[in-house]
Amino acid sequence: MKYRFVGIALTALLVTVIDGCGIVRSMGKDPEGEELSRLEALPNYKNGAFVNLAESSDSTVKRWLFMRSRPATIRPSQALPWVKTDLITLAAPAPTIVWFGHSSLLIKTGQGNILVDPVFSNHAGPVPGLVTAFPGTTNYHAKDMPPIDVLIISHDHYDHLDYRTLKKLKDHIKMAIVPMGVGSDLIYWGFDPKKVIELDWNQCATLPGGLQITATPAQHRSNRTYSKENKTLWASYVIQADNYRLFYSGDSGYGPHFKQIGQQYGPFDLALLECGQYSPNWPWTHLWLGQAAQAAVDLRARLLQPIHWAKFEEADHPWNEPIEKLLPAAEKLGVQVNVPRIGEPYTLGDPPDKTVWWDFK
């Protein structure tokens, strides 16, 4: 009995130490109680989990991570080029977008500053060192951000919802907009519940400055632990600011929802669409080679900017393959593509950036 109590004490001490490092807390908290009851009443929540519009499932795992064939170019051989921009003084005569690699974006508008899926802790996951950022992608931090009028989160995966980043930004965020259920994570991490808006697909929030944010469908999944999947919702977003319309895909496989969104909310001045981290292990929940170009056509977007690439190694394709495969597909479909460097501002209405800065192995 004495040894049992010693074991319990050691386990409690270990959990305390780990949580002191933020690992346990970074795993977040699933909805429960009244919040869970509210989710269970939604039409897209069935049998204890959220479901996609067109239910399907990814293929069984074809290559275990420790057995997979990894190309030598899975990570860049040198630091990625980047631009240092003073984000606080940056003017925005029209919506101005600054990309920080992967899916992290700052959108400055005359109606407010929008921060999307920020990950500035330089790794994606609860444990530092497992999924590390590429060299050249770690030069922007929470302290570089201007005051944030609205934080937008697409879903609860670690490469989009980062505990350490949000902990630093929390007091500088006026309002957070998240998919249904994800508010439980933010409130668990200390956000004021009055400053968190949860949206279901096709629900809209209008902020005091006039920004309109609408959550729209995506084809993906959610989880922060392996044992609990799809307990929170995932979403794409329509952003209306300064008489412009932007679309942010979050993470999503290809499906009819892109055309439906284009018909209902388009046309768009800019579509920010994922183009990387695809794999035969999950062919249904991410856009495959070149599919972002077709999604841009479906959305009726005047300009496409690729995201979800050039920061983390999350699949076994060469790091710059997504952009090299996307450009010819876009050209074939007549889609204009903007590919700025990390930290390089782009203002809607300007000519797209076509500099080939990724042409190295």
**Sequence-separated (6 or more) residues with CB below 8 Å from residue 298:** 258, 259, 261, 262
Residue 197, pLDDT > 60, answer: yes
Question: What pLDDT band is residue 195 in, cutting at 50, 70 and 90?
Answer: very high
All structural domains of the chain, each given as residue ranges with its CATH number in brackets, are: 6-49+67-347 (3.60.15.10)
Taking the C-alpha atoms of residue 219 and residue 267, their distance in angstroms, rounded to an integer, is 21
C-alpha angle with apex 15: 14 to 19, nearest 5 degrees?
120
The mean per-residue pLDDT over the stretch 167-184 comes to: 98
Question: What pLDDT band is residue 361 in, cutting at 50, 70 and 90?
Answer: low
> CB–CB of 340/86 below 8 Å?
no
The 8-class DSSP code of residue 30 comes to: -
Question: What pLDDT band is residue 1 in, cutting at 50, 70 and 90?
Answer: very low
Rg (CA), the chain: 20
Q: What is the pLDDT of residue 263?
A: 98
Percent pLDDT > 90 in the chain is 84
Question: What pLDDT band is residue 311 in, cutting at 50, 70 and 90?
Answer: very high
Give the residue with greater pLDDT, 188 vs 56: 188
Q: What is the pLDDT of residue 281?
A: 86
Report the relative pairing of strands 96-99 and 236-241 from DSSP bridges.
unpaired
Percent pLDDT > 70 in the chain is 89
Classify burial at 1, counting beta carbons within 10 Å of its beta carbon; exposed 0-12, middle 13-18, buried 19 or more. exposed
Give the residue with greater pLDDT, 63 vs 164: 164
Residue 202, pLDDT > 90, answer: yes
**Residue 224, amino acid:** R
Residue 170 φ/ψ, nearest 5 degrees? -50, -45
Residue 196, classed as helix, strand or coil, is strand
Residue 84 φ/ψ, nearest 5 degrees? -90, 115
Give the residue with greater pLDDT, 62 vs 40: 40
Give the residue with greater pLDDT, 21 vs 242: 242
Distance spanning both ends of the chain, measured CA to CA: 59
Report the candidate in 352, 230, 346 with the shortest Cα–Cα distance to residue 296. 352
Output the 3-class SS for 113-167.
EEEECCCCCCECCCCCCCCEECCCCCCCCHHHCCCECEEECCCCCCCCCCHHHHH
Tokens of 298: 């479906």
Q: What is the pLDDT of residue 24?
A: 83
pLDDT digits (tens, 9 = 90+) for 86-106: 999 999 999 999 999 999 999
Residue 140 φ/ψ, nearest 5 degrees? -110, 145
Q: pTM of the full predicted structure?
A: 0.92
Question: What pLDDT band is residue 304 in, cutting at 50, 70 and 90?
Answer: very high
Q: What is the pLDDT of residue 6?
A: 31
Residue 186, pLDDT > 70, answer: yes
What residues does 225 pair with on adjacent strands? 228
Q: State the Cα torsion 306-80-118-325 to the nearest 10°.
A: 20
Question: What pLDDT band is residue 275 in, cutting at 50, 70 and 90?
Answer: very high
